[in-house]
């Protein structure tokens, strides 16, 4: 038995958004693919698409996360 614990759906979504934020920060919207984000998160591209539907939705989620973090700094 491995020491890994299963994360909740909310935990997985949060990890993907974090990976997206990092990926978009490096490559911008046009230079980042779903595969880049999936690789960053350590999951499949198909799973990212299942949860978010597409790059635009994921970009908005990452933008919201980044904006919320910046507002918290004020």
Distance in Å from the first CA to the final CA of the chain = 45
Where are the chain's structural domains? Answer: 10-73
Half-sphere exposure of 15 (CA within 13 A, CB side): 16
Q: Domain 10-73: state its class.
A: mainly alpha
pLDDT tens series, the chain, 74 aa:
445 555 788 999 999 999 999 999 999 999 999 999 999 999 999 999 999 999 999 999 999 998 887 666 55
- Give the burial string for 7-18 (b: 16+ CB within 10 Å, else e): eeeeebbeebbe
């Amino acid at each position: 038995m491995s020491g890994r614990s299963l994360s909740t759906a909310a935990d997985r979504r949060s990890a993907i958004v974090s990976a997206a934020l990092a990926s978009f920060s490096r490559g911008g919207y046009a230079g980042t693919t779903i595969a880049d984000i999936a690789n960053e998160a350590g999951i499949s591209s198909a799973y990212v698409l299942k949860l978010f539907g597409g790059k635009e939705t994921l970009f908005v989620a990452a933008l919201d996360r980044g904006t919320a973090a910046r507002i918290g700094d004020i």
